Structure formats: C-alpha cells, structure tokens
Chains A and B, each alone.
Chain A
Amino acid sequence: MKWLDSARTRLRLLFARRAAESRMNGEFRFHIEMETDRLIRAEGRAPGEARRHALAAFGGVEKHKEAMRDGRGLAWLGGTWLDWKLGARMLLKYPALTIIGGLSLAGAIAIGAVGIEVANELLYKRLPFDQGSRVVRLETQDAAASRVEPRVLHDFAIWRRSLKTVVELGAARVSERNVLTGEGRVESLRVAEITASAFPLTRVPPLLGRPLQPTDEVQGAQPVVVLGYDVWQRQFLHDPAIVGRVVTVGRTARTVVGVMPPRFGFPRDQQAWVPLPVQDAAPREGPAVQVFGRLADGASWQDAAAELDVVSARFAADQPITHAQLRTRVRAFAGRTPGDPLRLEDLAVHAIVLLLLGAVSANVATLVFARTAMRESEIVVRHALGASRGRVIAQIVTEGLVLALAAAVLGLVVAQATVRYAWARASQITGDSLPFWVDLTLEPATIAYALLLALVAAALIGLLPALKATGASVQRGLQGITSTGGTMKFGGIWSFLIGAQVAFTLLFVPGAVGIFTSTINDQSRWAAFPTEHYLTFRLAIDNEPLAGERGAPDDGQIGARRARAYEELAGQLREEPGVTHVTHGDRLPTMSPEWVALEMVQDDAPPARLHGNYEGGFAMAAVGAGYHDAFGARILAGRALHAADAGSPNGSVVVNEAFTRVVGRNPVGARVRTLQRGSERELGPWHEIVGVVTDLWTFPADWSGAAYIYRAASAAELDPVVVAVRVAGDAAPLAPRVAALAPQVDAGLHLRDIVTLYDIAAQEQNRMVGGSVIFGSVLLVALVFSAAGLYALMAVAVTRRTREIGIRVALGANPRHVLRSVFARAGRQLGGGIIAGNSLILLFAWRADSLTADVLVSSVTTSVMMAAVGVLACAGPARRALRIQATDALRQG
C-alpha cells in the first residue's frame, strides 16, 4: 500500500519533529563513523585524519540537515514559530506601544464583541428546543390603532381548530403570584397560566412527574402546578417527593404534578406553570394572552403567512365590526423572523465596529510603522542574507498578530464583563428578568468574530509597514543603512498621517471632554428633597380570578382591583407612625421620563409646535394626586393635580418651571397635546394646563433640568404602580413593615424593590462615578495614544533627516536656518491637521447647533497641546542632528 506507507511517513516526518531530528543525527553519526573506520582500516590513515576525510566526503553536514528539514515540509513551521517568539519579545521590548496599542485594540475589539453578542442574542438567537427555530408566535395587529391586540382568545379557539401550517397551538398569560409553601415561606414567582399543549410544543420533558395535561384545563379539575427547577431547589430544597405536595399559588391550593429541568422558562422567564382554562370569549374581549405554535412539518414561513392572511381576511368579512382592522402575522418566537428585511441598524453594528477598529488600527499602524522604520537595518540585512520578501513581511505581520491576539483576549474578557453588566442593567431598567434563552456567556460566534477582528487589525497594523519596509531594493537598502538616515521614505503619506492624526485627535477630544464634564456636572446635582426620607417600591396585582368570578379577569377588572389594593395599602401606611405622605406615579423623579413632542394652543392662537429644552423634547410623567406635595414642590401658579383629574383621556396636567422658561410665559389655561416623537400623525388628546410647580432638580441625569409635563393617573391605569412613602426621618426601618402589610391587604398584591430613594440615588451615583472613571481613563489613554502617535511620527520624520542636517551644518549652514527648515516642515504638517480638525469641528458643531464656548475652549486647548507635542518631538532629534560632528556627517555620506 504505497499511499499508506507514504502517508504514514509524511505524518511522522511532519509532526514527530524531535524524533526526525534524532534519527537524522543518528544516521549521520553512524555514516561518518563507518567511513572513518573504513579509511583507517582500508587506507591506513590516522584516526584524526580519517575523520577529517570522512567529513569532507560526506559534504556540509548542516547543509544536508537543512535539505532534509525542507524535505520534511517543516521549515515554514519552524520559521513561523520563530516569528511568534519574536512577536512576543517585541511586546516586551516596546512596552509603551504594547500597552497603548494593546489597550486601544482591546477596546475596539471589546466594542465589536459586545455589539455582535447583543445582536446575536436579540436578533439571531433561537429557542433552545428541538427545532426551536420553528417555534412561532401569532401576533395580531390592529392597523387602525397601530398596536398589538392581545385579546385574541376568541380567535385562538378557531385557529386551534383550523390552521394547517401552524400546529400545536398554545396560549399563555403571565403574571406574578405569591407562592406559599407548606413551611409558610412566601415568594413572589413569575407564573404562566398556559395551555397544556405548550409542553409537547417545547419537546422538553419534565425532570420529575408530568407536565400539564389537557384534562387539567377542564372546569372542575383538581388545581395543579408544575414548578421550575430553581424554585424546586430554593423553596423545596430538592425534595425528591415534591410531586403530590400541595402549595398555595396566589389564592388557590394546588398539587405539584411536575418539575421542569434547569433553564426552562417558557414562554419568557416563568418559574411555575398552571393550567389556562380556555373559555369561550367574545371577539376582542377576555384577558390578554400570547399565542404560539410550531410550523407544521413541511410548511414554510411563507405558507404560514399566506394561510394567516386568508384566515384574517375571513375574520374581517365575517366579523367586520371587531376584525376589519385586525391582521394576524406569524413571527419567530425569538430573534428575527425569516424573510424580514435586514434593517439598517443590523448592519450599522458591523459598520461602526469596523470604522472604530480602522481608526484605532490606523493609529497603532502608525506606531508600528515608526518602530519598523527604526528596525530598517535589521530588515535589510535579513533580506540581503536571503530571507525572501514574503518571510520578512510574514515576520512583521506576525508581530502585529501577536499584539492583536493579546488585545483580542483582553477585549473578550472586557466584553464578557460588559455583557453581563449590560444585561443586568437592562433587566433592572425594564424591571423584567431576561428571557430564558438569553445566555450570559459569550457565544462561540462572538469569540470567532473577535478573532476575525484581530486578524483584520493585524493585517492593518502589520501589512502596510511590512510592505513599505521591504519595498526598497536590497542594494539601495544596504547603501542606506550605512547612513543614519535609512531609506524608508515617508513623503506625502507621512505628512498626511501626521495631519490626519492631529485632525482626528482634535475631532475626538472636545466631544469626549464634553461628555466627561457633563457627567461630572451631573454628579453634583442632587434632589430638591431629602431622599433618605422616602421609601419606594413597585406595586402590582396578580390576575387570578377571585372566588365567584368566572373566567380570567380582563385588564379593566385587574386595574380596578389594583387601585383598590393600592388605596387600602396607602391608607394603612398613612396610619403608620412618622409617615407624612403616600403618593404614586409611573416613575420616581429620579427615573428617566417618557419623552414626547408637544403642541400648545393658548389665547385662541393656532396650535404651535413647542421646542423642548432636552433634544427638542419634553419629559412626561403620570403621577397621582399629592405627588408634588410629597416631593416638596411648591405651586407657583394655578393648582395642583387632584384625584378627580385622573381617569379621563383629556385630564388636566401641570407643568414645571422649566416648561414656563421654554414657552416664555405663564402657561396656565393653555392646552397641550402630545405628538408621538418621530410620528406627526399620532396626536394625543388635548389637556388643559392647570398649574405650574417648582422643578424637582434631581441627581443624576441630564433630564433633571428638562421641561416636564405631569398628567394625573390613578393606580388603576398604571402597571406597575411606583409608590413613594415619605417619612419624617429615616425611611429604611419602614421597609419590613410595608412588606408585612401587603399580604394582609390582598393575597395577590406584589411589592418589589422596597428601598429608600437614597439607596436608589446612591447606587445610581456609584454607577455614574464608576462610568466616569472608566470613561476618563479611556479618554486619557486615547489622548496619550494620539500624543504618542504624533510624537513617534514627527520624531521619526526628523530623525530621517539627521544626515542631511549634519551635512548642511558641516558645510557651514547656519544652525538657526536649518532648525527653521525643520520646524517649518513640521509646522506645515501640524498646521494642516489643526486647520482641518478645527474646520470639521466648527462644521459639525454648527450643523448640530451646538457651537458653545466649551467646544471652542477644548478645541483651542487640544490644538495647543498637539502643537506642543509636535514641537517636543522635533526638538530632541533636531538637537542631536545639530551636534553631529562634520566629519561624522561626511563619513556617513
């Protein structure tokens, strides 16, 4: 078997490098010894002479060894390994370049990795089920109202019977319920009321017991619950006999019939599942549900979309009053729906990353270029000794690759930490936990993407300097290295790089300084009220039917129940010692508001669009009566909001002082309506402004000075209700009392995040300080990086002229004239960059309408700094050049 022998030999030679070397040495030694013996024996030579003759007859031992190594196909491997070692040594030899370049690249790669990871989780992630990409949800849109219609139980019953392309249809409604275990522990859990069909749809078997079954949905069936793995672990301590135990979920005692495996949270992040009784509901009535299913075997997305179009059209014809404007679409359960057009923002992530990486790499390339220029003699000698151009280029590119890969590792570590932080923060802001399919560890695709970015960066930072360094002929290079000047000419490219470096720094610094200073300023702002005197929490109510109620309650019933529970809890809290105010709203003054565009009409003038003081918009919040009083705001004109103002679509509103400053007059009596930002057609109802209150100047955000409009809202309209309790003194001790009161008011009442406003503000401030420190560090690194890049470029440019300067001085030129010529060239390069950078700043600032004194001051400061760095970079090499002895300069020629 020739090919088998051949393959075995090739593999052995290729991979068993040490064994092959040993074999080669052994054979050569044996051969020379045998020949030596023969010469002694046959020709009677002395041993020493015989050995010399044997060696001569053998030929150059090293030459034959090299020939055999080449024959093994291993030479390139040895060379590559050497390049890697050299690359690693270069990192240590040039620590400034390693740190500055490495950090910059790591930052760019981290941004890319985070972008791709988040995009992957949001756009491309599929459910972790068998054929999870074929699990779909059915979304019904109300075209007239431009919103999703979730009350589709009536339609669901028909879809379930008739749809052919989407099967295993199920429905669920999610809520929070208090779960009471046998030991008396209570925990608020995210519960799904779900049809039994959901379990076969997911194809995930339970860990213990059984899933829900259709018989559990029947009226009068024994109430049952399936628990999530974490709940079983935490609340029931892995009890293997959990199945059959009775727990109270909300208001109902239920028998545990099963436990699901870890990381199962269908449909979103649920921790327990109870049956959803699908009763007959009238069209567009009943509770809000989500509907899901699986594409039938052989059915495509287009087939499903076409069938749903037909069904929607039939509904519209049969029930025009309720369904004329409804259209049901099939959507991917997680991630993008196949067939959706690729949106610009999907591509923007990659474009931004590549731009950023390109900018950073260009900077690093500049430094590597300067370093390569300094090593020109080494490169030329290697070239002259027989190293091919490819070998030299490979070496320089590998050096770049070592740096880029080290940066990629660091970037991935940073990206992992950022992703974890970002998801936690997103979850905190939205008040929702993450969907169960979101994974907090970086995906393999993200790691591959980061490595690809590292390769791109290596090519950018290594290839250009490598091509430039090896471009000159060896002859010219050898002549050149005898002088100080070298042969790498920089000419126009060099001047352009210097100019671009200065312009880029000028463009970047003012913006970054602006963000940094505004962040710092924000930290000095504090609330106009004593935050430690407020206890806050989010209040929600479950949606379980009460005793005597038939079927699931609709949103109106739940809202009324929530309002009753809130009023009762507020009443009880007001009785507590030290409590002076209890108020509510959709957010606290420290939270980010909703941004709206406004139109105002006053004194019979035609409606006029108002331009708000925060990016043209106005802040809007829904608050209860007494909200402003509770936070110490005073009434400046008109009146405060009353409880009676709530509940009406065109109820009265109050505005703050900042609003008055924006409109320039007392707005009481005027009417305003909201326009959905970005959509002029979505007009809200008119509201009368009935009062003006003082600003609630608060830490920490930009919006603290925004013009506010406050509309009245009852607890029935808000879900969840954000409650603030003002106490005369420290509010923290009230927290356990609030938690204890809630179950007494209503078994379905859930209070979350019971903390003082001081804690919220302090936590926010810590985050801001941390963010500022990180941002400041990045800014500093970027500045040092730019300055170092400029210094390197200019210093190298002047160093190249050492010989020329030396000869000119030797020939009697006035040193002052020589210096003038050096600085004149540097001045042209710097000046070009400064003019270009400042022109762009002025253009951008003018276009963005944000030309402020701060921008001008930071531009001037940065220009002066860049000029100083340039002068310093020229001064050292120029001084050295002037000191060179005339004879030395001539000898170099």
Chain B
Amino acid sequence: MSSRSPIDALRGSLDLLVLKTLSLSPTHGWGISQRVQQISGGEFEMNQGSLYPALQRLEKEGLITSDWGVTDNNRQARYYRLTAAGRRALGDEVESWKRFAAALDLVLRTS
C-alpha cells in the first residue's frame, strides 16, 4: 500500500475503470477490484462493495454482460464481459477523460 492517501474512486471514473479492466479480459467482481488495485499500483482504493451497483448499472445500460462461471479454485462466480457497445463507450470515455485531464493539466500548469 502506498504511503500517500489512496485516491477515492469517484463514481464517474469507476465506470471507466471497470470498462477498462474488462477490456483486458472477462472477470468477476472481486477480480475487477484486484485488477484496478494492481494496475493503479494501489493508488485507487475503492470501497469494494460499491463496485456491484456500478456493475448492475453498466449491465442495465447494455455496456457489459454477465454469466455464471467457475473459478480456478472451483467456486461459482459471476463473470462480466464487455459488449460491443461497452467497447465503443470505453473509447469515448477514454477520449473524454484524456481531454479533461489535458485541460486540467493546462490549468494547473498555468497557475
């Protein structure tokens, strides 16, 4: 764990993180939370339970889909995968985020 305070996964960015994680490979809810932690080097520490309402919302929007599957240690888990619409949405979100980050960076540099 980093010595600095971990950044809270804000609701808007949580959707982006989930979609990005699932674009790598389908996985279950716990797997998503672990990958987010790993990829971000522990910078993002989300309240793990809040992941599930976000997954449900994304599924309702048709961006991801889910099915029951079996894990390596023979446990029943719900596996999520990105849909085509989700993949398109991820592209849009990444673009939008990049623009936002660039704009924010510009503002910070100026000040």
Residues of A within 8 A of B (CB): 2-6, 9-10, 13, 23-24, 26-28, 30-31, 33-35, 38, 57-61, 63-64, 67-68, 71-72
Contact = CB atoms under 8 A, between A and B. Distances in A.
A10 to B, nearest CB: 6
A31 B61 CA distance: 23
A61 B60 contact: no
Given A30-B77, A31-B30, A59-B48, A3 B53 contact: no
A316 to B, nearest CB: 76
Given A2-B61, A60-B49, 13 more contacts: A10-B60, A27-B52, A28-B52, A31-B30, A31-B48, A34-B30, A58-B48, A59-B47, A59-B49, A59-B50, A63-B49, A67-B53, A71-B57
B98 interface: no
Contact of B29 (A27, A61, A67, A71): A27
B76 interface: yes
Nearest to B77: A30
A23 B33 CA distance: 18
Contacts of B76: 26, 30
A23 B48 CA distance: 17
Contacts of A60: 49
Contact of A28 (B33, B47, B49): B49
B28 A30 contact: yes
B15 interface: no
B49 A64 contact: yes
B83 interface: yes
A19 to B, nearest CB: 11
A8 to B, nearest CB: 9
Most chain B CB within a 10 A radius of its CB, from A5, A26, A28, A59: A5
Contacts of B96: none
A292 B47 CA distance: 81
Nearest to B28: A30
Interface in B68-85: 75-78, 83-85
Closest CB pairs A-B (n = 4): A6-B62, A2-B85, A2-B62, A64-B49
A33 B85 CA distance: 32
Interface in B10-46: 28-30, 33-34
Contacts of A31: 28-30, 33, 48-49, 52
> What DSSP secondary structure best describes chain A's contact surface?
helix
B93 interface: no
Most chain A CB within a 10 A radius of its CB, from B59, B84, B85: B59
Contacts of A61: 49
A31 B46 CA distance: 14
A56 to B, nearest CB: 10
A68 B75 contact: no
Nearest to A38: B34
Contact of B60 (A13, A57, A64): A13
B55 to A, nearest CB: 9
Most chain B CB within a 10 A radius of its CB, from A31, A38, A59, A63: A31
Contact of A13 (B33, B56, B78): B56
A68 B56 contact: yes
A109 to B, nearest CB: 42
B61 to A, nearest CB: 6
Nearest to A64: B49
Given A30-B28, A60-B49, A64-B52, A23 B60 contact: no
Contacts of A63: 49
B53 A9 contact: no
Contacts of B75: 30, 33-34
B60 A6 contact: yes
A79 B50 CA distance: 23
Nearest to A63: B49
Nearest to A7: B62
Contacts of B53: 64, 67-68, 71
Contacts of B57: 71
A58 B76 CA distance: 19
Nearest to A62: B49
A340 to B, nearest CB: 55
A38 B56 CA distance: 25
A287 to B, nearest CB: 76
A2 B65 CA distance: 10
A28 B50 CA distance: 11
Nearest to A20: B56
Contacts of B77: 27, 30
Contact of B78 (A3, A26, A35, A72): A26
B3 to A, nearest CB: 17
A24 B61 CA distance: 18
A872 B24 CA distance: 80
B87 to A, nearest CB: 11
Contacts of B56: 13, 68, 71-72
A27 B65 contact: no
Given A30-B75, A71-B57, A57 B48 contact: yes
Given A9-B60, A34-B30, A24 B52 contact: yes
Contacts of A59: 47-50
A64 B50 contact: yes
A31 B90 CA distance: 25
A6 B84 CA distance: 13
Contacts of B63: 2
Contacts of A71: 53, 56-57, 60
Contacts of A10: 60
Contacts of B52: 24, 27-28, 31, 64, 68
